[in-house]
Chain A
């Protein structure tokens, strides 16, 4: 957004707020969360985005978009340790349909990236849709102020800082420290440095990072859910076919619905509680407008 447009928007916005508050009320015609269940990952992904008002609400013509799936582990899609490749692919397609100039799909992986990019199926799927799938590289690390409650500064890959739009696409998984790994934990994959030390204050670190990155859109892949042995699993018996995706702008709400899918009350999760208390988003599902569809 150009500065002039920004100022204009503020001007128009303040006029609207002052004179006709009911226009603003009309503005909110989209639900907070879209939850779609169905057979095909690509289909439910499209449907979820269209419930939220279509991809044009999030991506503008000429945008550079970075999509951040979880590609951390050398695991197949069936093992549900990484984001579903079809979900990623569909999001890439949607971005291009909205006129995105460039779409990058990347992650700072845990197992060697050349392996995880392949075995997860994400590199191939994203490339098919026309995305760039670069590996992270240490020269692009930049120490930046995170200004969080616990995290003051950390090294972040510049790709995540220098993009117009960020889309977070986590997968719903079990984790023995934060109990679940959802969207907010996914941001560890944008960091360099000794990120394993973050685990000593993981809940706070996750919230600080989520508040720092503020994704344009959060998209929860719950097509397959890893119930035990997270975050990398391995056994197919630990995986449940849930065939659902959820999406929304409020990343705390998206993580909350993810927790709900795992039959956990969002308020029980430390990081969601912290995020909510900091006013970053809603964790009470009752207070959210959720549009559910089955296709």
Chain B
């Protein structure tokens, strides 16, 4: 028999790589573009998320609202019904990363493909079920594992800060060597990119991402095979699949090369065991086949496809575990009394609705012009992991900026115009007179007052009477706060010259989104719970 690999499928593969590169470039471009665009309003940089049916579904169930932007997800669903899980191998940017690294690891002999015969990688389906059961109880954990959220967050909070740090160091060397003419334009360009590089969880989120990439050493596209809940959902949707694998038994020499190199354990050989729910249409099998025996002919007639076959018992068990575990993510002191440090971005919905919708993608953290928004570790309870929180010591809420509200893909942060945003109170500022320079030492310092962006200023200066350790009486101007004017932006804390533990600080109390987290009686009857 004449041995010849298919030229046609080689070409299709190259096409696929082009498509992957293109979509990854688009994702990256939008990611880089998620920063202050030189004007107050930014375009649809979060559009990728709206094509994600998993986010659409979980947001719909958990929040019990239809978010119109997710109409694009129906396109993905329809295409998957017809063409199967092609999105995983042709579009998904995280899939492309895994495929790329699988390729690298294979070439460098770190990854040796193992023949796994006729075994459905089911873990991801149970993960999906677990997530979906949670959403029934309004527990939205999808953001932790949704591939787009995961990738966006990992890049914005993990990879970019590391790259920025590296570039900055190189730049430092250029300046040391006095190569100004090279260094100046690079520095200017880097500033223009606005890369936020200080994150509380760079190590944690960065290492997780690295781990997920390294899993490819164990199995090709490990994440896509075993873990990805979106892949599982698309697997369930791939019902019609007009392109079906067909092996020409006359040509087939039963070398098993196709099954060995199948990227997602779809088991191309024998033909009858091919799993359409796992096939991502990467066409590796058809192009690797030494005798050109594998084809994907177009079949338009309806044909029953073997659906994902999960064990009923395990399915039931997963659902029960999901239902039982749901309260575990909820029961934390934060659900009873608001956390003082949990300062949400302006426009964030009341905490309960916010958690139902937030998919922990990190768009808001990427776009924040002062690097103020940080991934939460524990302040919002287990379910609030990696949701955004303003940390004034790192950054503050810029007065004329509503960018985070504009880029939120699920409306967990309600879109606000700049004038609307300036009316939102996200917390209240407090003075620690034991550490404040005028209050403690009687020396002048009005830095917080100077920076207060509201007019009239929420920080007033009064003549204080301070006894110094020497017994001398000084009367400096010292700051006091008008809590009705304070919007909790945190610039005072951010700029306070007391470096380690600022003498002025913001806590979440008084935030206009909450009815409970209030302070003064007259505020309760006010505008609580609007945002």
User: Which residues of A approach B to under 8 Å, CB–CB?
Assistant: 74, 110-115, 118-119, 134-135, 137, 139-140, 175-177, 194, 196-197, 199-202, 228-229, 231-235, 238
Contact = CB atoms under 8 A, between A and B. Distances in A.
A189 to B, nearest CB: 14
Interface stretch (B204-212, B313-321, B396-404): B396-404
Contacts of A196: 445, 447, 495-497
Nearest to B192: A114
Nearest to B369: A112
B172 interface: yes
* Interface size range of chain B in the complex: 35 or more
A137 B187 CA distance: 7
B477 A238 contact: no
B455 interface: yes
Contact of B457 (A175, A201, A229): A229
Nearest to B370: A112
A238 to B, nearest CB: 7
Contacts of A234: 399, 453-455
Interface of B: 36, 38-39, 168, 171-172, 175, 183-184, 187-188, 191-192, 194, 369-370, 398-401, 437, 443-447, 449-451, 453-457, 461, 477, 495-497, 499
A129 B500 CA distance: 44
8 contacts: A114-B191, A115-B369, A134-B184, A139-B168, A176-B446, A196-B445, A196-B497, A233-B455
B216 to A, nearest CB: 37
Given A114-B191, A139-B187, A199-B444, A176 B455 contact: no
A194 B497 CA distance: 7
B322 to A, nearest CB: 43
Q: Which of A110, A140, A196 has the most CB of B within 10 A?
A: A196
A235 B399 CA distance: 13
A288 B121 CA distance: 88
Nearest to A234: B455
Contacts of B187: 135, 137, 139
B443 A200 contact: yes
The 5 tightest CB contacts between A and B, nearest first, are A234-B455, A139-B175, A196-B497, A235-B455, A137-B187
Q: Which of B39, B192, B399 has the most CB of A within 10 A?
A: B399
A231 B450 contact: yes
B171 A139 contact: yes
A119 B456 CA distance: 21
A196 B448 CA distance: 10
Contact of A177 (B183, B444, B451): B444
A135 B188 contact: yes
A13 B171 CA distance: 46
Nearest to A117: B38
